């Protein structure tokens, strides 16, 4: 059973896996609804870290020996679901997700990524992309959380020079999100 707080946010982990050249891994959803980072709910009695490793294995077939944990977000990052995605027939009602984001460095070969660890896989394909690209690829209502997670974890992903600047194609409203997150 998932954990949903008093405000209606489901506790969740998000996972950013980076490679040796600082690209990040995104998965193509089996329901063809786009690309996203691995993520999933925290179950009752489970720590965020334990949930992260469970989701890492279920969604992309990696285990603790395949990655190095570089860090995680200090606070929960929240997003609200659009009204059409809220299941009003469930108790408690979940209005969105609050996520603890983890940044992992792949230490195994990229060939270790696989999608057959559960009978209902989340992803059926993956690709390595530039650091900020997932913000453009993810469904619109998750974009601000992606921006904030990548921004906060950027110094850990790029310890020498910091994260690359956001792309010039970003709309101004996205730039404002980052300026407001300091």
Q: How many domains does the chain have?
A: 1
Which of these ranges, 39-43, 63-67, 177-181, has the smallest mean pLDDT? 177-181
Quote the pTM value.
0.93
Q: Is residue 78 part of a domain?
A: yes
Distance CA 62, CA 121 (A): 14
- What residues make up the domain containing 151? 9-179
Residues 6+ apart with CB under 8 A from 98: 5, 9, 10, 11, 12, 76, 77, 78
The verdict on residue 157 lying in a domain is yes
- What's the mean pLDDT when you consider all of the chain? 91
The answer as to whether 4 is a domain residue is: no
Q: What band does 181 get if pLDDT is binned at 50, 70 and 90?
A: low
Provide the CB-side half-sphere exposure for 47 (13 A, CA): 4
Residues 6+ apart with CB under 8 A from 165: none
Q: Is residue 168 part of a domain?
A: yes
pLDDT tens, residue by residue, 65-105:
999 999 999 999 999 998 888 878 778 888 899 999 999 99
Residues 147-156: pLDDT tens digits?
999 999 999 9
Give the mean model confidence (pLDDT) for residues 40-67.
96
Residue 98 maps to a domain: yes
CATH number of the domain residue 81 falls in: 3.90.79.10
Residue 3 covered by a domain: no
Query: For residue 2, is it within any domain?
Result: no
Give the whole-number percent of the chain exceeding pLDDT 70. 98
Is residue 84 assigned to a domain?
Answer: yes
């Amino acid at each position: 059973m998932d954990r949903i707080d008093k405000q209606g946010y489901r506790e969740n982990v998000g996972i950013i896996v980076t490679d040796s050249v600082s690209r990040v891994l995104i998965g193509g959803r089996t329901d063809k609804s786009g690309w996203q980072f691995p993520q999933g709910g925290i179950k009752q009695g489970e720590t965020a870290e334990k949930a992260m490793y469970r989701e890492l294995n279920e969604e992309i077939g990696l285990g603790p020996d395949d990655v190095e944990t570089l860090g995680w977000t200090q606070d929960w990052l929240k997003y609200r679901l659009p009204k059409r995605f809220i299941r009003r027939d469930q108790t408690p009602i979940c209005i969105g997700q609050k996520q603890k984001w983890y940044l992992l460095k792949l230490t195994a070969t990229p060939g270790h990524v696989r999608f057959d660890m559960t009978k209902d896989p989340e992803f059926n394909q993956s690709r390595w992309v530039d650091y900020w690209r997932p913000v453009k690829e993810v469904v619109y209502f998750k974009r601000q959380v992606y921006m904030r997670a990548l921004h906060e974890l950027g110094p850990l992903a790029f310890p020498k020079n910091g994260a690359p600047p956001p792309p010039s194609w970003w709309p101004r409203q996205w730039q404002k999100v980052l300026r407001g997150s300091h």
